[in-house]
């Protein structure tokens, strides 16, 4: 987590840093700081709270054309001004910003304290400033290289020294870092959002690389001082996509964007004539795809639930044994990689450390891992052996919404391809394509009726506990609905299989614990209705999310929201949107910080 940014160029560095930090704020928002260099040395400002607090603290008159900045998501040490970055060397000449975790900081700190270094903060990151100081003999880059060679853990680090005007050193291991090339100016940051207002020409770094930049250029070397040739990429995102526009929150904007983002994920990837999908990025021949005997999807959070939907359908339609596993668990359980197993790493950001580390562990064991990512050029996208970009556009709200449905879209396309190579006949393929490409009006209708969801949120937002229940392909959707409510409204919610409640959770049912049941028109509908009756019999309030015309469900439930009828295969798309809206409106009723919920960060780059 955390966001870092650096700038060298003709502009006022504080303006560039503060604006960039605002765009990185989604990565962490408990405190922030900047260090700006000028003829007077380094000026450091750091504050607990959101970027606006820092902005209010930094004087307009702050001069200086090079600097570094940081927005923090605390891991080691509480949230306070002093623990905010940048951290400084004893002589105040070196400032560092760090994203990641230094696992061996205690032993390094003991050693440095023994040598007389004085520590002010209670963080792992501060050791970096003192280490660089201890190695510094006039060459900042050399001192940074010696320092990082001693670090264990993950880092994206920016370092500046008051005696090295217009120079920043960046080093990366496990935490993302990208350089932005301007005209007579250079930017460096955790991700492109911080620099997109200034440049679209970027260079991504790999672990073990160190960059030295100034306003005129950059050099990248490895830890053995060998130059590394880098390619320059262009960013396709537009600045406007990162703005809220007329919406009050990014989350609401992104929920609404699903009308366009779902079709965008299909763009150019459907072969209508052959009734199949075209996914060139998989980098796999038809023969290789035919040889796939098992599929394992690894992911975290919302991506994990999208993976669960995909695995369910891959197994039932393509007839390939498929499972989805939490990346954080897979990594440490010494998984068996068998020939014929194809792995997918699903990650909106492409930077989630749990997922990235699982990818590397699998690749070490010889697995082929494909990435399903949103952020182009992200680490998982680059390190995987192929994959599919979901193209949902920048997702800024911490709560993931449009990425979920775009991930589903990408996996539905893969599923179509795999099924058509096996048991699915051409007419069935045509029907599948019609269902997938025909989702837009249904989603539009749900969004037009969002007032119905707002009313439900008004009625239910005071509940302290919630059950979200679904079956089959909508069981993971129920879990996703519960996750959304937890993270943005801070209401405790459990996502369960409706069938499972009799095995325990039904004990929670009373007048104060509402249950939201997903009731698509599928082969399990009658079973879900029975579960609904069981809840009603115990005086539990029930909200039913059912398809238009399902009067029976509407009669049993206390409240109902109708979604347009669709083939049951596609119901997850239509069921999840009301759940996203429900969480959003509950959060709004409760006055929560919808886009930046407490304790969270968008991109989880720590374990």
User: Which residues would be at the binding site for ligand M6R (CB under 6 A)?
Assistant: 300-303, 347-349, 352, 355, 398-400, 483, 487, 604
Sorted by sequence, the CB contacts under 8 Å of residue 555 that are 6+ apart come out as none
The residue (of 398 and 532) whose beta carbon lies closer to ligand M6R is 398
| 187 vs 437: CA distance, rounded Å | 40
The residue (of 483 and 546) whose beta carbon lies closer to ligand M6R is 483
Cβ–Cβ < 8 Å for 160, 212: no
What is the three-class DSSP state of 459? helix
The residue (of 20 and 176) whose beta carbon lies closer to ligand M6R is 176
The residue (of 352 and 571) whose beta carbon lies closer to ligand M6R is 352
CB of 182 to ligand M6R, least distance (A): 28
The residue (of 89 and 348) whose beta carbon lies closer to ligand M6R is 348
The residue (of 58 and 372) whose beta carbon lies closer to ligand M6R is 372
The residue (of 209 and 351) whose beta carbon lies closer to ligand M6R is 351
Identify which of 458, 446, 459 has the alpha carbon closest to the alpha carbon of residue 558.
459
CB of 305 to ligand M6R, least distance (A): 8
Q: The tokens of 127 are what?
A: 């050791």
Q: Is 88 considered catalytic here? A: no
Pairing of strands 542-547, 233-234: unpaired
Sorted by sequence, the CB contacts under 8 Å of residue 507 that are 6+ apart come out as none
| 74 vs 84: CA distance, rounded Å | 9
Q: Is 2 considered catalytic here? A: yes
Alpha carbon of 411 to those of 380, 407, 536: distances in Å? 17, 6, 36
Cβ–Cβ < 8 Å for 406, 396: no
Sorted by sequence, the CB contacts under 8 Å of residue 61 that are 6+ apart come out as none
CB of 518 to ligand M6R, least distance (A): 18
| 532 vs 101: CA distance, rounded Å | 47
| 514 vs 486: CA distance, rounded Å | 14
Pairing of strands 294-299, 341-347: parallel
The residue (of 42 and 483) whose beta carbon lies closer to ligand M6R is 483
Place of tokens 């200086």: 64
Alpha carbon of 76 to those of 83, 153, 157, 430, 535: distances in Å? 9, 13, 16, 54, 44
In sequence order, which ranges of 117-257 are alpha helices (DSSP H)?
Answer: 126-135, 140-148, 250-256
The residue (of 34 and 353) whose beta carbon lies closer to ligand M6R is 353
Query: Starting from the edge strand earliest in sequence, which strands make up the sheet with 341-347, in order?
Result: 322-326, 294-299, 341-347, 368-373, 387-389
49 CB burial (10 A radius; 0-12, 13-18, 19+): middle
Cβ–Cβ < 8 Å for 278, 271: yes
SS (H, E, C) 481-515: HHHHHHHHHCCEEEEEEHHHHHHCHHHHCCCCCCE
What is the three-class DSSP state of 102? strand
Task: For residue 419, give the H/E element and its range.
Answer: helix 402-420
> Which residue is catalytic, options 2, 8, 88, 586?
2
The residue (of 108 and 583) whose beta carbon lies closer to ligand M6R is 583
> Which residue is catalytic, options 22, 47, 417, 602?
602
CB of 344 to ligand M6R, least distance (A): 12
| 22 vs 33: CA distance, rounded Å | 11
The residue (of 89 and 328) whose beta carbon lies closer to ligand M6R is 328
Pairing of strands 322-326, 294-299: parallel
Q: CA-based diameter of the chain, in Å?
A: 79
Q: What region, left, alpha or beta, does residue 283 occupy, with left being phi > 0 and alpha being psi -120 to 50 degrees?
A: left
Identify which of 240, 189, 253, 180 has the alpha carbon closest to the alpha carbon of residue 215.
180
Q: The tokens of 268 are what?
A: 């150019």
CB of 595 to ligand M6R, least distance (A): 11
| 136 vs 141: CA distance, rounded Å | 9
Active site residues: 2, 602
């Amino acid at each position: 987590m955390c966001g870092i940014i650096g700038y060298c160029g003709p502009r006022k560095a504080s303006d560039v840093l503060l604006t960039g930090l605002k765009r990185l704020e989604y990565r962490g928002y408990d405190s922030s700081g900047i260090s700006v260099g000028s003829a007077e040395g380094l000026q450091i400002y750091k504050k607990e709270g959101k970027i606006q607090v820092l902005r209010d603290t930094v004087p307009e008159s702050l001069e200086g054309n090079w600097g570094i900045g940081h927005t923090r998501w605390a891991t080691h040490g509480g949230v306070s001004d002093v623990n905010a970055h940048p951290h400084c060397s004893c002589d105040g000449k070196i400032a560092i910003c760090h994203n990641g975790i230094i696992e061996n900081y205690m032993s390094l700190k003991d050693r440095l304290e023994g040598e007389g270094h004085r520590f002010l903060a209670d963080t792992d990151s501060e050791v970096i400033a003192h280490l660089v100081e201890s190695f510094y003999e006039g060459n900042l880059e050399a001192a940074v290289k010696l320092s990082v060679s001693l670090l264990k853990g993950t880092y994206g680090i920016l370092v500046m020294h008051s005696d090295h005007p217009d120079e920043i050193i960046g080093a990366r291991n496990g935490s993302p870092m990208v350089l932005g090339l301007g005209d007579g100016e250079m930017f460096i940051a955790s991700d492109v959002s911080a620099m997109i207002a200034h440049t679209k020409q970027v260079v991504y770094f790999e672990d073990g690389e160190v960059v030295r930049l100034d306003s005129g250029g950059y050099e990248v070397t490895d830890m053995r001082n060998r130059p590394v040739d880098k390619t320059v990429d262009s960013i396709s995102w537009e600045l406007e996509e990162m703005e809220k526009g007329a919406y009050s929150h990014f989350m609401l904007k992104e929920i609404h964007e699903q009308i366009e983002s779902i079709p965008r994920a299909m763009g150019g990837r459907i072969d209508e004539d052959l009734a199949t999908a075209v996914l060139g990025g998989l980098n796999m021949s038809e023969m290789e795809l035919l040889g796939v005997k098992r599929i394992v999807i690894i992911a975290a959070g919302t991506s994990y639930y999208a993976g669960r939907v995909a695995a369910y359908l891959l197994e039932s339609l393509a007839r390939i044994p498929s499972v989805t596993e939490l990346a954080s668990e897979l990594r440490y359980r010494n998984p068996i990689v068998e020939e014929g197993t194809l792995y997918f790493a699903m990650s909106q950001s492409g930077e989630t450390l749990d997922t990235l580390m699982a990818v590397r562990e699998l690749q070490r064991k010889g697995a082929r891992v494909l990435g399903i990512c949103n952020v182009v050029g992200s680490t998982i996208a680059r390190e995987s052996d192929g994959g599919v970009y979901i193209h949902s556009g920048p997702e800024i709200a911490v709560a993931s919404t449009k990425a979920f449905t775009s991930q589903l879209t990408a996996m539905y396309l893969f599923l179509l391809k795999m099924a058509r190579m096996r048991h699915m006949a051409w007419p069935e393929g045509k029907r599948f394509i019609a269902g997938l490409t025909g989702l837009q009006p249904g989603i539009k209708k749900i969004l037009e009726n969002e007032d119905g969801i707002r009313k439900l949120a008004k009625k239910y937002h005071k509940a302290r506990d919630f059950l979200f229940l679904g079956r089959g392909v909508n069981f993971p959707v129920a879990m996703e609905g519960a996750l959304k409510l937890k993270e943005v409204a801070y209401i405790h919610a459990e996502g369960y299989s409706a069938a499972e409640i009799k095995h325990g959770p039904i004990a929670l049912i009373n007048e104060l614990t509402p249950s939201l049941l997903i009731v698509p028109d599928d082969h399990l509908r009658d079973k879900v209705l029975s579960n609904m009756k069981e809840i009603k019999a115990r005086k539990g309030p029930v909200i039913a999310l059912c398809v238009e015309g399902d009067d029976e469900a509407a009669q049993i439930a206390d409240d109902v929201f109708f979604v347009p009828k669709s083939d049951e295969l596609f119901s997850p798309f239509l069921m999840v949107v009301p759940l996203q809206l429900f969480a959003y409106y509950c959060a709004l009723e409760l006055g929560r910080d919808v886009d930046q919920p407490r304790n969270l960060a968008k991109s989880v780059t720590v374990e």
